[in-house]
Structures are given as C-alpha cells and as structure tokens.
Amino acid sequence: MEPTFRPNWLQRNLKGDPILWAIVLIFSVISIAVVYSATGTLAYRNELRGRPGSAEMIVLKHSGLIFMGLALMWLAHRVDYRHYSRLSLYALLISVPLLLFTFFVGGTTLNDASRWLTIPVIHLTFQPSDLAKLALISHLASMLSRRQQHLHDFKSTLLPVMLWVGVICGLIILSNASTALLLFATCMLLMFIGRVPLKQMAVMVAIGVVLGGAGLAAGQRLGTVMSRVSSFSDPTKKTPFQLEHSYIAIATGGVAGKGPGKSTERNILPHPYSDFIFAIIIEEYGLLGGAVVLLLYLALLYRGLKTVMNSYGAFGGLLSAGLSFSLVLQALVNMGVAVGLGPITGLPLPLLSMGGTSLIFTGISIGIILAVSRGEPEIRPVVGSDPDAPRIPRQNPSYT
C-alpha cells in the first residue's frame, strides 16, 4: 500500500499564492536592512534631544511592526474572504468619526497636518486614513459585485458609490491630499474593472473634482499642494531641497551602488527612511537594486491580477484587483517622486518605508489578497448546464 501524502507545516499554514508570500518576505528583509542604514541621523537627533532611540532601538521597533504586519497578514489570509464584504461596511462606519475626530478635535499635528491619532499607553501613531482606505476599497468591491446586473441604474448603483467615495476621500483630503487623490484614482480604476459605464464614471470624476477642490480649500494642505505642483511644473524655480539631494543620492549610487550602510545622503536628505527611502536604496545598492525593487512591485501586481483571473466570484476578483492596484500605484508614485517624475507627495513606499500602522494595514491588505488566492468556497454551475442546474464547488486554483 502506497503511503498517503502528508502536507508539511508550510503547506498547512501558509496557503494561497506562494510567490506572493515570497515577495512579501523579501520586501521585509530589504526594509529592515535599509531602515537600519537610513535612521542613523534620526537616532543622533534623538540623542541630542535626550530621547531614547538609538539606531538599533529604531530598527528593533520597525522589525516588530513588520512581524506584527506579517502575523496579521497570516490571520487575514485564513479568513474566508467573503466575510470582508460585511466587515468593510463596519470599518467604514468607524472610519468616518475617526477621520472627523482626528481633523477637528484630537489629532496629532506633524508637518502642519492633523493626520495621526496617538494610541494611549503604547504611544503608537495611527492614521485613520489607512483604515478608511482599506475599508473603502473593500466596500466598493462589495457594492460593485452585488450590482453587476444594475450598473446602469443611477439610484441603486452610482449614488451609494458616489456617497462613500465622496465622504471618505473628502475627509482625507482635508489633511492628506496625496492619499485622497491616489485613493480616488484607485476607486475609478476599480469602477472601470467593475464595468461601470464610462458616462457614469465621467459624472463621478466631475463631482470628485468639485468636491475635492472644495475639501482642499477648506483643509490644511492647499498651500503645500500649490507650492509643490508649482515647483514641479516651473523649470525656472529652484529644485526643492529634498528632491535635490534625492538626485544626488541616485547619481552617486551608480550601477552597483556604494554598498550597504555606506550612504552619505541619508545624513542630509529629509525622511530618508520613509518618503525618500527609494533614493537611499539606489545610492547603496545602485540602479540594479532599484530595478530589483521595481520588479518586485510589478511581480506583486502580476500575482494580484493572477488571483483576479483565477477568481470566479466578482467580489473576490474586484477585491484583489483594488488592493493590488492601491499598493502598487502608491509604490510607483513614491518611486516616481524620488527620481523627479512627479511633485513631492509625502507618501511612504509600501512594505519598505519605516512606518507605524501603515505596515500593519499593508499586511492586512496583502493577507486579504492571499485569502482570495486560496481558492474561493463559492459554487459555480456545471459546464453546459442551465442556470437552475445543480452546482459544484470551485476547486482551488493552482499557481505557476
């Protein structure tokens, strides 16, 4: 009698797309190495101000957040992804008062923007916009999947979509214009994938421009946005300080880079461990290192879209597509800013930048993509049968 096959521990516990798991783990290792290298100046400033925070302590905290994000990613991928349809609505209902409270009442102000809440006891900063972004994409996927037969109905389809997208993006733009614009673009892309008619999308864009402009004018970032766009679009103006040193880091990195931990611009460039971490990667690891990072993000997008193609259910496909595009678009914008292809935004580089709860919500997002890639427990009709025929469960997709 032949022995039965017994899956090993990894096969039992790490389900879903194995290549996506590998990409995330590679990003985690790169992040720890680069953040450790880039936080020397931050540690020195902490020492001058009498605050605890050596480079080792900073990277230890960062590593802890990465492992917490990986743990939550594992938990999220174990959940039947269909539950996220209902959970997304509850998350949105929590996000709205959190965003209002952060902006009007108790937000921690950094860089002239009230985007953060400080969690008591652990003193960890939390951006409600991270929760709102994840919740909106998930709920939008749910709404579009449930209304596939009524996409031309303004009242039942476009109106609730407009309401949630307008409220969330409008609240976020009060203090974080770049995140709001990127989220709005992701929602438009998701609506396009969800087969929303172009005429209705045009109406959505027009309303978004009006409401977005009003929110920007009423918020905290209008002056900053105008200054950054003007500096980018007017070649006669002096290159902003941080962008100038980003160029220097990239130019001196060459093809192979200076080597790990040998960056010099990390001591001059503002926020080298978050907003401009891509410039430090190129300085230390060269254009080859930058190309590897770019290819990893493109591979992440490809695996996310492969999950979409292997998904029979509309909700699973839209959910995976929305979260994949959200992460990779943010990465492309961050990298584009570092090389001068766009105005300065202040967006972190997902999976690599040092951050607080952004690492955690990124982990949850990828966990949801993995939950979809595990194989949906939905049912589909037998091939060649009529719509009322018995149905059979869908088999788990195989990944190559």
Residue 271 has pLDDT above 90, yes or no: no
pLDDT at 376: 53
Enter the tokens of residue 167.
């409220």
Tokens of residue 390, six digits: 């018995």
pLDDT of residue 350 exceeding 90, the answer is yes
Per-residue b/e over 85-121, b at no fewer than 16 CB within 10 Å?
A: beebeebbeebbebbeebbeeebeeeeebbbbbeeee
Mean per-residue pLDDT for 147-166? 79
Tell me the pLDDT tens digit for each residue of 117-139: 776 666 667 788 899 999 999 99
Output the pLDDT for position 395: 43
Q: Is the model's pTM score more than 0.75?
A: yes
Do the beta carbons of residue 91 and residue 134 sit within 8 Å? yes
Residue range 381-396: average pLDDT?
40
Q: Is residue 352 predicted with pLDDT exceeding 60?
A: yes
374 pLDDT tier (thresholds 50, 70, 90)? confident
CA 93/CA 85 separation, integer angstroms = 13
Find, among 104, 105, 32, the residue nearest to 66 by Cα.
32
Q: What is the C-alpha separation between 239 and 247, in angstroms, rounded? A: 10
DSSP SS3 for 109: strand
Q: Which of 29-33, 194-198, 270-274 is modeled with the greatest confidence?
A: 29-33
- The answer to whether the CB of 334 falls within 8 A of the CB of 278 is yes
Q: Which residues pair with 391 in a beta bridge?
A: 381
pLDDT in tens, 22-36: 999 999 999 999 998
In terms of Cα–Cα distance, which of 87, 122, 127, 88 is closest to 107?
A: 127
pLDDT for residue 3 is more than 60: no
d(CA 127, CA 234): 32
Question: Who contacts 178 (Cβ-Cβ below 8 Å, separation ≥6)?
Answer: 333, 345, 346, 347
Q: How buried is 162 (Cβ within 10 angstroms: 0-12 exposed, 13-18 middle, 19+ buried)?
A: middle
CB 356 within 8 Å of CB 124: yes
Residue 385 is predicted with a pLDDT of 38
Section 96-118 average pLDDT = 72
DSSP 113: E
Chain-centroid distance of CA 139 in Å reads: 16
* pLDDT for the residue 324: 94
pLDDT digits (tens, 9 = 90+) for 206-234: 888 888 888 888 877 778 788 888 888 87
Structure tokens at 381: 């009709």
User: Which tokens go with 188?
Assistant: 């438009």
Sort 5 into a burial class: Cβ within 10 Å, 0-12 / 13-18 / 19+. exposed
* Mean model confidence pLDDT for the chain: 82
Start-end of H helices in the chain: 9-13, 18-38, 40-48, 55-78, 83-101, 128-146, 159-173, 177-193, 198-218, 222-233, 241-253, 277-309, 314-338, 357-373
| Confidence tier at 394 by pLDDT (50, 70, 90) | very low
Using DSSP, state whether 108 is helix, strand or coil. strand
Q: How far is CA 341 from the centre of its chain?
A: 20
The Cα–Cα gap between 114 and 131 comes to 16
Q: What is the pLDDT of residue 93?
A: 92
Q: Is the pLDDT of residue 246 over 50?
A: yes
pLDDT at 114: 63
pLDDT the model gives residue 112: 56
pLDDT tens per residue across span 285-337: 999 999 999 999 999 999 999 988 887 678 889 999 999 999 999 999 999 99
Pairwise CA distance, residues 223 & 217, whole Å: 9
The residues, any chain, with a CB within 8 Å of residue 268's CB and separated by 6 or more, are: 245
Handedness of CA 5, 8, 13, 16 (dihedral sign): negative
